[in-house]
Amino acid sequence: MPLPGAKLLVAKVGEVVFLGPGYCGYGLLGCRQPILWARTAHHRRIALNPHPNEHGYYIAHQATCPDGIRFRKVARR
């Protein structure tokens, strides 16, 4: 687990700032899996899968969330 404030590399997004751990969910939506919250260079919140891939890149959780279609609709608001 990185420390809050650590810079993480996210595939297709770039460098983000780690904020803290959490769970996937917006109200009744979301898969409830553990995630990492981070902030992009554009100050948007992004949820990451908690483990980087073999290249050291984190993956945006919404790309793999089993509840992904609804997750994206809500996250875009």
10 in contact with Zn ion (CB under 5 A): no
Nearest alpha-carbon partner for 59 in 71, 70, 47: 47
31 in contact with Zn ion (CB under 5 A): yes
| Residue 7 vs 34, nearer CB to Zn ion | 34
- Give DSSP secondary structure letters for 54-67: TTS-B-BHHHH-TT
Span near Zn ion by CB under 5 A; candidates 10-18, 27-35, 36-44, 48-56: 27-35
Span near Zn ion by CB under 5 A; candidates 7-15, 24-32, 37-45, 51-59: 24-32
18 contacts 10 by C-beta, under 8 angstroms: no
Nearest alpha-carbon partner for 15 in 27, 5, 3: 5
Q: Is residue 48 within a helix (H) or strand (E), and if so which, with residue range?
A: strand 45-48
Site string for Zn ion, 45-74 (x = CB under 5 A): --------------------x---------
Site residues (vs Zn ion, CB under 5 A): 24, 31, 65
